[in-house]
Amino acid sequence: MIHREGYGLITWSFVFLGLLSGTTYFFGAPFWLQGFVYLLSLVMWLLIVQFFRNPKRSTPKNEKNIIAPADGKVVVIEEVEENEYFKDKRLQVSIFMSPLNVHVNRYPVSGNVEYVKYHPGLYLVAWHPKSSTDNERTTVVVKTSAGQQILFRQIAGALARRIKYYCKVGDKAEQGGEMGFIKFGSRVDLFLPTGTKVNAKLNEIVKGGETIIAELNI
């Protein structure tokens, strides 16, 4: 299944790469060069298609569960000061997405969307410590039925220069449901209440919408 964010790019890349391949044939390029261009065009197009894949996920829905909001590798688990919304200590869990990961972003919990803010910014590499506060990003806060507020942040990276989010204040968030998409290598940060039990480990590979990365104390 292909994500709707990829329809335009997949179509235009197919046309462009098809024209490129046709040009080598039309101008009588050497056979080896034609073969190389055909193969390179096919590989590039398949890489673009796989980037926009949108597999179905089976979410273990539970108000205690914090579900991974994205596919990727856990690169940060630490207590930090969250200065945008909470302005206090929170437990940060960060997931880095390489260009080969699924880039659909999902709600980690169910509840009401209480805060949404887009920030323009820089394009530091996604694992840079300041990427969470200096890069282009979108911050979303969902309040669960138990009254817990969970903040998660989409962060652009050096290659990711388009963040898409589909929520607004007042929306109902469904755990595991789609909330956005980041195009090309990026990161998602979660900010959880201190004392939250974290199941994930550093460098663990997680699946968005499926992996239970933490459990709330409720």
Express each pLDDT in 59-102 by its tens digit. 999 999 999 999 999 999 999 999 999 999 999 999 998 888 98
Q: What are 148-198's pLDDT values in tens digits? A: 999 999 988 665 557 889 999 999 999 999 999 987 668 899 999 998 999
CB contact set of 120 (below 8 Å; sequence gap of 6+): 136
State the pTM of this model: 0.84
Distance CA 107, CA 46 (A): 28
**Residue whose structure tokens are 């179509």:** 11
Q: What are 124-158's pLDDT values in tens digits? A: 665 555 656 667 889 999 999 999 999 999 988 66
The catalytic residues are: 186
Burial of 130 (0-12, 13-18, 19+ CB in 10 A): exposed
Distance CA 69, CA 104 (A): 8
Distance CA 214, CA 200 (A): 7
Q: What are 14-53's pLDDT values in tens digits? A: 888 888 888 887 777 788 888 888 898 898 888 888 778 8
